[in-house]
Chains A and B, each alone.
Chain A
Amino acid sequence: MPLYKIENLTYYYPEAEKAALNNISLEIEDGEFILVAGGSGSGKSSLARALAGLIPDFYGGRIGGKIYFQGWDIRAMDRRKLARQVGMVFQDPEKQIVQTHVEAEIAFGLENLGLDNEEMLRRVAEVICFMDLEQIRGDFTANLSGGQKQKLALASVLAMQPHVLVLDEPTSQLDPVSAEDILNLVKRLNEEMGFTVVMIEQRLERCYHLADRVLLMDKGRIACDGSARAVARKTIKGCAPFLPPVARFFAGLQAPAVPLTVKEGRKLLRSCLNIKETGAARPAPGAGDACPADYTGRRCAVRLKNLWFTYPGGQEVLKGVSLDVGEGEFVAVLGENGAGKSTMLRQLTGLLRPDRGTVEVFGQDVGKNGFKEIRKHIAYLSQNPNDYLFQDTVEDELLFTLKNFGLKDTSAVDEMLERFNLAQYRRTNPRDLSSGERQRVALASVLVTSPGLIILDEPTRGVDFRLKAELGRFLQQEAAKGRTVIVVTHDVEFAAEYAARAVMMFSGRVVSDGKKHDVLGKSVFYSPQLCKMCRGICDGVLTFSEARDRIYPLITGGAVVAEGPGVTM
């Protein structure tokens, strides 16, 4: 008997005209690790909620079809019994924690199950040991880092000892190291402890190879279902956005097998390349030049000179940061959490004043004059687009910025709405839009003044492949027009594909700065998957187009270059 059996499941959210889940039939076996992939609005989260019994119990709406769990109709099951069997971890760790202290939070679910104190003590102790939370067991939950919060959310669910773990993009808000930590834990839970795992994820390079089975969703339906390799083989033929970069690269080759990991990719690449000496391939354009990046001849848009900053609490965050960014440059700033990236952004927007050193934006000293002097020339998009949305309509949101700066010409509003495909939502409340659309409204609302400097803080968090590509292309176009773009991101793949220059920060200092090929190409951990695959075979490859240009001509036997490679970003 399958663990889950879903028959013709159709679901509409309250007041929705379009089905979130459309006639889904599915069986899930005990102990499987299932990865659910798909674009925004494809129904992934709705499926996860249905598996956890939250649809329609929590959301209401209309539902058709049946979901059976261990042979029982899930809607007829006692909620407490279901919660003992199915645990769900959500996207945003900030929105899952209820209690003030770590230990109390782990016990929260157990209290809800009505367990006796001895049993709770035992389970809490076990989970704390397993998840290595001993150091923080007495900490105030609001003071934990993002990674610790997500680990705590997972611990709180695991303490309930469920049979099934449903994870809705559990790593989307985390930096790469914390994300890796969570994924390794999930892998252990599946392999060593027999948990059935259903995981939704956007960054497939992190987890595609972990899954036994992949469900590809589109418009509320399951478009493709099978083992990870089978789905890779099926989807590789067309445009393949829902594959890890290594597999996507081989989409253009009729390779005998589809590699899913860097290791497999390297093996396959070596077997079919006609290279006698490693690294003999033609260098990528822009690769190999000496650091720093070449911005000579351009006017300097941003100049940070020997910047030092310490927060009132005594934490020294910036230590002698110097950075020049020319007009029309597209710079990605990378580094671990706490490296000082966001503090640096706040310095160059004038929201913080440096203790020592100077910040100049378009020749104006920001530290002296503060943000009021330069804000007209800056578009700043914070990590959360919702911070921008409060007006009744999308149009009002853009007009609000214009009005604040005393700009009378409102023609820029129409232009921006067209540019961001928002014209149809002109009279819509921005809070009624999807997350991708909200981000576009927020971006339009800060770009409406035609600023020369665009600053984005983690713009790809929780954003699907298509929206990410749209954003990347847009920023490239803006840079081509002469605007300066600075993006703080953990998304190495995004930085490698779209930025021209990369800056690495560590512990309040700039440790590497130059053309992206020099910075990301030489980094072991902060390099895209394709770069890792090609390292030592064909050095300096970062993007798909580079990989195609340099590697396809070298292919001999074993794999044939397809006429129309399906990879486009």
Chain B
Amino acid sequence: MFGKLYYQDKGLFLQSFHPAAVLVYFLVLLVLSLLYDNPLYLLSLLFLLALLINGVDGMEAWEGFLKVGVLMTLVVMVVNPLVIRAGATIIWHGPAVPFLGRLDISMEAIYFGAVSGLRLLVIMSIFCLYNLMVNPDNVLNLFSRAAGKSALMVALATRMFPAMVRDLKRIKEVMQLRGVDFEEGSLWERVKKYSVLYNVMLLSSLEGSMEIAESMQARAYGSGRRSVYSRKLLRPRDYLSMGGSLLALSAAAWGLHNGCGRYAFYPVADALVGGSSTLAALFVVLFYLSVPLILSEGCKYCRFIKSKI
């Protein structure tokens, strides 16, 4: 079940980018999702992300993210009007509540809550896409030069996690057959039972770590300065993607400087489309951000593009 949430090499075009190009792209997406307030801009980003997630065959995984995201959006939509009094369009006058004062629910506060939830959805979708599109090993490899030990530690933890889950399941079964009922007893008793489980795993992991360390030493780890094995090639698609990301960032910066993408919720919400420049700036940014998607689709249907990138 959890396997769908992690990177799986499906040989897709969108998974073939150099990790540096992908990281730049995701960084730009993340920055824009934090800077933009305009719901139209955020919706557009979400739409683009949906297309990209579909491109990496990840709709099933995204569904899980969406469920959590929508739930959190609803929570924000409920909580925000209860604590924010800045809205001008009051739709319900509630009673006075200690600490919070009078509960006046405004349309703008609900609207702001919904847009905050939308932003959350965009950010979660970015992480969902990252998990599906980027081989974590390649990213680690990228950082190996700068922080070799940390990168190796993360790789070890990533590699060991599935094995630990398997071990934990096996040890739990062993304990169950030795008469331990994990679901029975008070909370404290259950905690004690689970502590036994983690105790066994910790002891075995400590012994196992010695063996791993021995194997690493036998392969000359720590014998001097390490080099970094880099197997990813920088191809035209990576330059195009990086160029697109940087141009999108520049266009967004220019737009934000001129008010495109900004949005005021209080006391009265702005119009969604302030003028033609709002749509023009959005179009330009979206176009540059769509470069990987355009290349991916182009690769499918155009031999020329495929041969050149």
Contact = CB atoms under 8 A, between A and B. Distances in A.
B226 interface: yes
Contacts of B3: 313
Interface in A97-120: 97-101, 103-104, 107-117, 120
Contact of A111 (B160, B215, B227): B227
A88 interface: yes
B303 interface: no
Given A110-B229, A115-B227, A387-B174, A100 B219 contact: no
Contact of A117 (B162, B204, B217, B230): B230
A114 B170 contact: no
Contacts of B204: 384, 386-387
Interface string A32-64: 000000000000000000001010011000000
Nearest to B216: A98
B135 A83 contact: no
Given A52-B218, A375-B179, A384-B170, 20 more contacts: A79-B222, A80-B224, A92-B211, A95-B208, A96-B211, A96-B215, A99-B137, A99-B155, A100-B136, A107-B229, A108-B219, A112-B226, A114-B226, A120-B227, A157-B218, A160-B220, A380-B174, A384-B204, A386-B204, A390-B199
Interface in A328-376: 346, 349, 351, 371-372, 375-376
Contacts of A121: 229, 231
Contacts of B212: 95-96, 98
A398 B61 CA distance: 45
15 contacts: A58-B217, A83-B223, A90-B218, A95-B208, A112-B220, A113-B227, A121-B231, A142-B162, A372-B181, A378-B177, A384-B170, A387-B170, A388-B178, A404-B178, A445-B178
B159 A142 contact: yes
Contacts of A97: 159
Contact of B177 (A78, A101, A312, A349): A349
Which bracket fits the contact residues of B? 35 or more
Give chain B's interface secondary structure class: helix
Contacts of A376: 179
Q: Which 5 A-B pairs have the closest CB atoms?
A: A404-B179, A83-B220, A107-B229, A95-B211, A109-B219
Given A113-B220, A351-B177, A401-B178, A101 B137 contact: yes
Interface in A1-60: 52, 54, 57-58
A87 B200 contact: no
A405 B179 contact: yes
Contacts of B160: 142
A313 B4 CA distance: 11
Contacts of A52: 218
Contacts of B181: 372
B68 interface: no
B217 A54 contact: yes
Contacts of B199: 390
A156 interface: yes
Contact of B196 (A384, A390, A446): A390
Given A378-B177, A387-B174, A80 B220 contact: yes
A400 interface: yes
B296 interface: no
B150 interface: no
A183 B182 CA distance: 44
A162 B25 CA distance: 42
Contacts of B179: 375-376, 401, 403-405
A112 B219 contact: yes
Interface in B205-244: 207-208, 211-231
A95 B203 CA distance: 15
A366 B104 CA distance: 60
A541 B181 CA distance: 47
A114 B225 contact: yes
A362 to B, nearest CB: 15
A95 B215 contact: yes
A380 B155 contact: no
A558 B212 CA distance: 53
A97 B216 CA distance: 9
Given A156-B219, A351-B173, A389-B203, A404 B180 contact: yes
B137 A104 contact: yes
A139 B11 CA distance: 12
A84 B224 CA distance: 13
Contacts of B223: 78-80, 83, 112-113
A356 to B, nearest CB: 22
A492 to B, nearest CB: 25
Query: Which of B181, B204, B223 neighbours the largest number of chain A CB atoms within 10 Å of its CB?
Result: B223
Contact of A100 (B158, B171, B203, B227): B158
Contact of A387 (B140, B200, B224, B230): B200
